[in-house]
Structure 1
Amino acid sequence: MRDDPTLADATMQRDLGDGLTLRWSTAADTEAIAALLGSVHRTNADEPPNLTIGARTRMLMHGDWPTMGPGDFAVVQATAQAGQPLVACACLWHHTWEYAGIPLGVGRPEYVATDAAFRRKGLVRAIFAALHARSAAEGQTIQAITGIYSFYRQFGYEYALDLDGLRGVYLVQIPPGPVDASEPFGLRAATVKDIRALMALHAQRRADALLWSVHTAEEWRFTIVELAEMGTIEKVGMLQMIVDGAGAVVGYIHVAKRRWDAHLSVFECEVTPGTNWKAVALPLLRALAIYGQTVPNMEGDEPINRIDFRLGQAHPLYDVLGPTLAPYHEPAYAWYIRVADPLGFLRRIAPVLERRLAASAMVGFTGTLKLDWYRGGVQFTFAAGKLSGVEPWQPPLYGEEANAGCPILVFTQLLCGYRTLAELCAAFPDVWAQDEARLLLGILFPRQASYIID
């Protein structure tokens, strides 16, 4: 997958034919982008414009959003029409993740929209070419998107990381608190003085996560200060500290500031080392039930009846709550991941692969591993346990020289620890490996959970 670097320039204007021009946005496009997104992101054509996404657009384009600026929307403009409206758009957020401790720049496409009258003209494909080019120009190693079923595979993406997954607690199942005593734990709003504690709490999963999302002190500050000053319709969530009876911080939650149904969402929940999850769980549920009564329902007047913990596939709180307190369950969806330069990515993570090999039964391995991607391939060369080469490889016209085979997009699942080689072999007839290659690939690319905050 090669990206066209000319598309990354802020002054780029590309004629798409039929009076349509692809370009990058400026602050002057804010209301036009908000109008387009508000019109497209509706349940049906009879609904009024989506005011929430319009408000979010103004936030993103204001100039102080931590992960993007007013020039990060790629837009298509109908220059031949009256008023020259914008008819398609998507933006690029700029993140930093880590792969087993190695920092990676990540480009995240978001807020994708095309006016209904201009669909099936390849406009989103043209926009994504621009997003990918800018992401590459900024040295971002991968792109990631949360999106609709199957659609983004056509642009080189593959489902490769868990997204969400939840356990739900119905309010009627929460036991009442102490009658003649105060709760041992409660909640208070986070302040900028809590940033150091928040960063330490968030980092607790870092060592166990394959991919982990980095959040700077400025991003924490922005969430606490800037978002708190915005109107209700613009707010996504807020940070609250879990405190004991003496007011000492023992954890934090990231909880929704509005609802669209009868459910209150909790996006993050961590406690300090040595804090008993079981002791915290019930007071936390009762505090959230009280807080949930104050959260506005943007879609009607239905009162809250459930707390949804969107904490991934597994979490200590799930274990403590169990199926009795948290009977409602939704399995995880998935992040789409795009690795435009898989050879470059493999070279970047070579230290990780060497560490895995050194801790395995194949320690000190010397030899090669040829993996057929069916449109090219890769040859790994090891010398005394060190990865001395990651080079492109093509199968010969005759003979079977590959040690293993896996389509390149499916390989993304292996690379991201999303599935094991055995699971992929069972699911895909074109994933296979000879005995030594099977052992090596299992060592180099084990299944491992990631922790990415959406």
Structure 2
Amino acid sequence: MLSATANPQFEVRTATEKDLDALVAFNGRVFRPPAGVWTRSLLRGGRPGTSIRHFLVLEDRATAQIVASLCMLLQEWNLGGVSIPVSQMELVGTDPNFRGRGFMRMQAMRLAQMERAERCLLSCVQGVPGLYQKFGYEYAIPLKGGTWISLEKFAGCGSSRIPQPGRVLSFRRAVPADYPALVPFYTEATRSMLVSSSRTAALWAYQDGQPNDSEHAIETYVLEQGARIVGYFRLRHSSRLNAMVLREAQAQTWDGWWTALKAAFEAAAASGFNSLLLQLPRTNPLHQTAQYAGGDEIPPFAWQVKVLDWVEFLNRIAPALEARMAASLFANWTGSIVVRLRDATTLHICFDQGRLKVRADGQAGASDGVDATVGMFTQLAFGYRSSEDLLRSHPDFRVARSIHFALDTLFPKLPSYIYETY
């Protein structure tokens, strides 16, 4: 079949205001109606950093019909205290009658140009399993998962298996004036993560302000002790799952955690749902609480990540990597680790008295350094897999004994969790 890149009938272009209604209808049809509602909120500029120019459309010139589309959601991630500019590929859809013609690859090439223009260091996508590896992405950060528990099970045995609170705190729906005060609680909730998404008060306001029928409608509730804010939790109604989703929670005491959990169950019952899904990282206290109450763990999927420039990325996160080495036996270390990426370049990770500099011209003998694919090294660099994990699962992943200790110190396996920024 003729590739789109060789067919002048089809054109990839940046969306304009004239495309708004057509894009809303397209995504509502290709995905589901709530996705169309969400598309409209993005196109109207409600999300900080997103506008119509971040949408691509692939148009049939003969009919002026949109047959494929995607958008770029700019965001900031935090890695060890370092801010990283990230592009997320979202709402990637093709009309069923036009699939199999290379349209996604055609749009991905244009997206790469947009990412370079925005100086993004990472690109990420949720997406279909197995598809995006063809475009250089690799599973690297846990996505969603959590604990599923029925209301009946919790009511029947939950309270006897978990500690009871000293008192139940009050809670209420958050209002815009609360968001600046809630940001530090979010920061605390993600502090233990190697990689997390950054959130501003403006982004919080956008998320809470989405229409109820939007794909990503969410409600934030403030926990209070007297007039003082002591935490928050967020709920999402899911008719598709027949469950209330507890999407985030952060509290200072067990009284606060319990109040959030109890409120989520009461909201699920009031909405006619039969279950609660705690879509929280495994480090969150309520994740373990729900399991002891009889919940079933749902293994997380994973964000798929592509490093757009390895040298610039590693030099950007140098403060985090230097701090990691300084807190170990490799404090003030002088030495190097050569990483040969078989499907890309060779990285020379050099330390001089504890200061890091990475370049792409490293040379080493066959027995030195690390041999890996880009995908393997991506999982290692983001703490998703340890070197031992990779050695067990990939016979072609190799690490020289002389640098193995330094490599594991530089890139240990650590927890991460990305909450969506939309």
Which position in structure 2 is the counterpart of 1:408?
374
Q: 2:301 aligns with which of 325, 330, 333?
A: 333
Pair 1:364–1:30, CA change in 2 (3 A): same
In 2, the alpha carbon distance for the partners of 1:340 and 1:233 equals 31
Maintained 8 Å contact 1:256/1:264: yes
Q: How many residues align?
A: 408
Maintained 8 Å contact 2:147/2:297: yes
Q: Does 1:91 align with 2:59?
A: no
Which position in structure 1 is the counterpart of 2:396?
430
Report the TM-score when normalising by structure 1.
Answer: 0.84
SS in structure 1 at match of 2:245: strand
In 1, the alpha carbon distance for the partners of 2:402 and 2:369 equals 8
Which position in structure 2 is the counterpart of 1:288?
264
Map 1:350-369 to 2 at 5 A. Answer: 350-369=318-337
The structural deviation recorded for 1:122 is 1.0
Q: Does 1:185 align with 2:169?
A: yes
Pair 1:368–1:282, CA change in 2 (3 A): closer
Q: Does 1:23 align with 2:13?
A: yes
Pair 1:172–1:293, CA change in 2 (3 A): closer
Which position in structure 1 is the counterpart of 2:44?
62
Map 1:27-426 to 2 at 5 A. Answer: 27-41=17-31, 50-81=32-63, 84-175=64-155, 184-224=168-208, 226-227=209-210, 230-233=211-214, 236-244=217-225, 246=226, 248-272=228-252, 275-276=253-254, 279-295=255-271, 303-323=272-292, 325-375=293-343, 376-393=345-362, 400=366, 402-426=368-392
Pair 1:147–1:389, CA change in 2 (3 A): closer
In 2, the alpha carbon distance for the partners of 1:115 and 1:19 equals 16
SS in structure 2 at match of 1:208: coil
Maintained 8 Å contact 1:237/1:256: yes
In 2, the alpha carbon distance for the partners of 1:174 and 1:370 equals 52
Pair 1:140–1:242, CA change in 2 (3 A): same
SS in structure 2 at match of 1:140: coil
Pair 1:219–1:55, CA change in 2 (3 A): same
In 1, the alpha carbon distance for the partners of 2:146 and 2:196 equals 19
The structural deviation recorded for 1:234 is 5.9
In 2, the alpha carbon distance for the partners of 1:187 and 1:165 equals 26
Structure 1 segments, 4+ long, off by >6 Å, are: none
Q: Any unmatched runs of 5+ in structure 1?
A: 1-13, 42-49, 296-302
The structural deviation recorded for 1:34 is 2.0
Residues 126-154 of structure 1, C-alpha deviations (whole Å, 9 max, x = no match): 11111221112111110111111010011
Greater Cα shift, 411-420 or 347-356: 347-356
Letter in 1 for 2:27: L
Letter in 1 for 2:261: L
Maintained 8 Å contact 1:167/1:318: yes
In 1, the alpha carbon distance for the partners of 2:401 and 2:249 equals 42
The structural deviation recorded for 1:362 is 2.3
Alignment root-mean-square deviation, CA: 2.3
The structural deviation recorded for 1:206 is 4.3
The structural deviation recorded for 1:422 is 0.9
Residues 327-363 of structure 1, C-alpha deviations (whole Å, 9 max, x = no match): 2210010000010211211111222222222222222
Which position in structure 1 is the counterpart of 2:162?
none
Which position in structure 2 is the counterpart of 1:449?
415
Q: Any unmatched runs of 5+ in structure 2?
A: 160-165
Pair 1:143–1:373, CA change in 2 (3 A): same
Residues 232-288 of structure 1, C-alpha deviations (whole Å, 9 max, x = no match): 4566111011234x454321111114422321111101013xx12xx3454433322
Greater relative contact order (CA < 8 Å, ≥ 6 in sequence): 2
